[in-house]
Amino acid sequence: MNNGLIIHPLSVGPLQVNCFLVACRKTRDAMVIDPGGEGDRILSLAKSEGFKISKVVNTHAHFDHIGANQQLVEATGAELMLHAADLPLLQNAREHAEIYGLTVASSPEPDRLLDQGDSFEVGEHSFKVLHVPGHSPGGICLLSDGHVFVGDVLFAGSIGRTDLPGGDFDTLVEGVRQHLLSLPDETIVHPGHGPDTTIGQERRMNPFVGDGVQGLSY
């Protein structure tokens, strides 16, 4: 929680995606970021907290991050949002999951397409959209109140893999440096897998994008 922003992390689905239930303390308006699965669990937590889920946001559309889209949208009427460049991934998520021997429910089409510089509200809190491709073409991060939700763009001590269709290492590194490492050191980073970190920690220590990488300057 920070300045009235409530953040509940949940590790969901077979690949243990970090899903975040994020709400305004005052209004109880809420969104779900990356519901990779276990929709009943997400809905139960929202109900117990008295939250009204009005938005579901996919930081990107890899199958492990979108598995409960349909269940949440149908149960709550929430607006589904992601970047247009990841629409093909969303539409083909079931086929991608089958490659790994997994199954995932089809997702509804998005209600709103987000892009760099867009913003939206959750209760009294404004979230700014940062487009950081490279892990996927439409990867986005969501910034609000000293928190940034980064999906699979940046991890504690690492970055997202770039060997999947639409991935590009140089593009990802450039985007992380431009849009994320320019944020204040104390900004809390909530990644799509693994533990939280901070921008300052990653700037100092990350072996892919941090200060120790040759040729990096600010």
Looking at residue 212, its pLDDT comes to: 79
Looking at residue 46, its pLDDT comes to: 98
CA distances from 98 to 46, 102, 116 (A): 30, 5, 31
Q: Is 65 exposed, middle or buried (0-12, 13-18, 19+ CB in 10 A)?
A: buried
pLDDT, tens only, 25-70: 999 999 999 999 999 999 999 999 999 999 999 999 999 999 999 9
Q: Yes or no: say if 116 and 147 are a contact pair by the CB < 8 Å rule.
A: no
Where residue 80 falls among pLDDT bands split at 50, 70, 90?
Answer: very high
Residue-range domain boundaries for the chain? 5-205
pLDDT at 171 over 80: yes
Where residue 179 falls among pLDDT bands split at 50, 70, 90?
Answer: very high
The Cα 160–Cα 172 span in angstroms is 8
SS3 (DSSP) at 120: strand
Q: Above pLDDT 90, what percent of the chain?
A: 94
Highest CATH level, class, for 5-205: alpha beta
The Cα 39–Cα 107 span in angstroms is 13
